[in-house]
Structure 1
């Protein structure tokens, strides 16, 4: 199958959507499919052989963050050329409700389109306001995927229609087989994320750290991610700042080794999360997880069975839960064991096959589905009314 995948966000700025698209493309290639990924990137950006640069991205406020997107007349021309030259059996766009390459692809495409929605924002005024503009493009989508129930809810409330929920995927074995790093072991807690993006929660962790260190003075906090390191520790007493070690941007291999090394992985994110891929990566690596009780995080962690939860933005509760986990090796072992079993549902061997099944449905039609079941199946995939009618007519003609 010839598959075109559209990444909305700049390829050279790491993020969950980019990682998901990269891993999906590589999984599909290993399965023998031809895959091309179109993504915002400068011409001199080092790209994998399957990726095509669509030009420089610009920062745009989106979903409580700053997304680097690519949109405009030049981008539209590049999209049309890529779509034409690729002659794809199916196009898979991500975040088509944002002003991005994905939306431009919906306008340009003539064949089957699958769309994945990652955003969880039930009060998005921008999405509701933009719906009349988005509607013609979104009606061309053949099937919709949401990465979580909360992303699905955002889609239903603001854009109508429905979607099948297929979570983000992870190469569980890659993280499970990583070698711990000796210098990152021994009373360590870990955080991975953009330092200067408040919703990732590092300020909450910094507020909790003095109490953690008061009870466990040998504890070290390892922080991986880009941002202003001096500003990040500015609120800490000077004597405690040496207990925070900034690792900067780390490779995938070092991220896995970090997660394999820490005693507790902390995800203090404050909002705007539709899934929580870092939680799945941590579980895959066998790290005991402590996360804020965001709905999406609670779902990934099986309601708290696969990882501990603390009240969102409550630094005192975070500190108490961290100390309790550091003091209880038995509980950490329980979390590791449960998490290792639970995380298998997110492995690419499962997630990739589910996505491929959606591709096959929209390309081959519903001919193999019994007539009584056909509309129900298409409805669960979030197929547009126009596409359903087309496929029903095709089935009748056969």
Structure 2
């Protein structure tokens, strides 16, 4: 099938690149992306005409609109069997555009990375709900999100394709032995309130000094005040956690990110809520056991906690206990959990499996539309 994949966030987000690397053996793919984003990928065509950012507001508006006009022209003239939208730069303008242009493609597909924006308004709920009903196929990463779409928007199950998020192939994990003196924990990703960094800090504050001396936590990632204005550095000082917690704010280059993961013994996910987590798959890519809150998406994606430890969400004492239990793991327990992670990746969380699920979803949606 001839597929137009629309992706605003390459090269920062490599999800589409990884997926299309596997999907290109099944489909004829064109990726429509921002300027400067294309990467060498044999068998995949690139059209880099979307707005790439970095201009004053007037020029930015003009360039953004120009990118959407170029996208509309491509949809109208490209004779695509599949228009697959990965995400939105601004859903207020792009969703109406896709709804209007749907008649120019075979099927309209959208990957629901998040059911709704994390700060969704009632208007957002209506906008996304209307779009979900217009799409011929919705792609989700787990059964939990599939059920949410069915319950929230009364969508039929056959319209929703579960395509597990693959682990990242550009990573080459090294052999890792547990730190003996001080266990290293890492929480990585853009800082947002729902990710529970404050819960993590409170859990550490509730440890005795002797207990804290056995662990070191690194929190690394970008922070945008509009998304989370919490002063985590002040919170660390207030709770007396200097020397126990390293806060690394800002963009983390690839080499530094690799070093963070290679050094870590465990990865932390004290989230309040989540629909699915690419960061969890990043941890799996490094074969790192995870400590995650027992929210539905993590229950599913940790295989019921077999890839580490689960603890009740928003309970600092439970997180404290999980961290201390992990610090007591033997090398045998650690390597056994790593083996389970590798097996889960081999069987489920790999891009070949993702591409096969998606290709089957395309064909089923196409057949339904032809009836």
**Preserved contact between residue 219 and residue 245 of structure 2 (Cα < 8 Å):** yes
Partner of 1:62: none
Do the aligned partners of 2:109 and 2:136 also contact (CA within 8 Å) in 1?
yes
In the other structure, the counterpart of 1:101 is 94
- TM-score normalised according to structure 1 size: 0.72
Deviations 1:336-362, CA, capped at 9 Å, x for gaps:
222221222010111112112223444
The residue number in structure 2 matching 1:312 is 313
Distance (whole Å) between structure 1 residues aligned to residue 101 and residue 321 of structure 2:
53
Alignment pair present for 1:167 and 2:164 = yes
Q: Where does residue 64 of structure 1 map in the other structure?
A: none
Residues 93, 114 of structure 1: 8 Å contact kept: yes
- Show the counterpart of 2:221: 225
Alignment of 1:16-35 (within 5 A): 18-29=13-24, 31=25, 33-35=27-29
Whether contact under 8 Å (1:71, 1:100) holds in the other structure is no
CA contact (8 A) 1:167 1:275 kept: no
- The within-5 A match list for 1:130-279 is 130=127, 134=130, 138-139=133-134, 141-162=135-156, 163-171=160-168, 174-175=170-171, 177-179=172-174, 187-195=183-191, 197-212=192-207, 214=209, 215-227=211-223, 231-237=231-237, 240-247=241-248, 248-252=250-254, 254-271=256-273, 273-279=274-280
Q: Which runs of 5+ in 1 are unaligned?
A: 59-68, 366-377, 379-386, 393-398
In 2, Cα distance between the equivalents of 1:208 and 1:117? 32
Deviations 1:269-314 (A, max 9, x none): 112x111222222123221110111111111011222221111121
In structure 2, stretches of 5+ residues that fail to align are: 41-45, 55-60
Displacement of 1:150 in angstroms is: 2.6
Per-residue deviation at 1:22? Answer: 2.8
Conserved 8 A contact 1:147-1:165: yes
Residues of 1 paired with 2:71 and 2:133: CA distance? 17
Change (3 A) 1:150 1:243: same
Structure 2: distance between partners of 1:249 and 1:118: 22
The alpha carbon displacement at 1:189 in A equals: 0.6
Please give the alpha-carbon distance, in whole angstroms, between the structure 1 residues aligned to 2:262 and 2:73. Answer: 44
Aligned-pair Cα RMSD in Å:
3.7
- Separation of aligned partners in 2, 1:102 and 1:19: 23
Q: Among 68, 75, 82, which residue is 2:74 paired with?
A: 82
TM-score by length of 2: 0.77
Name which of 109, 117, 137 aligns with 1:114.
Answer: 109
Aligned twin of 2:342:
340
1:293–1:309 CA contact under 8 A, matched in 2: yes
| Aligned partner of residue 346 in structure 1, secondary structure | coil
Q: Could you say if the C-alpha distance between residues 246 and 46 of structure 1 is closer, same or farther in structure 2, counting changes exceeding 3 Å?
A: farther
Q: How does 1:51-70 map to 2 (within 5 A)?
A: 52-55=48-51
Match of 1:37 among 31, 41, 48: 31
The alignment covers a number of residue pairs equal to 341
Residue 48 of structure 1: which of 31, 39, 56 is its match?
39
Q: Name the CA distance, whole Å, in 1 between partners of 2:62 and 2:123.
A: 18
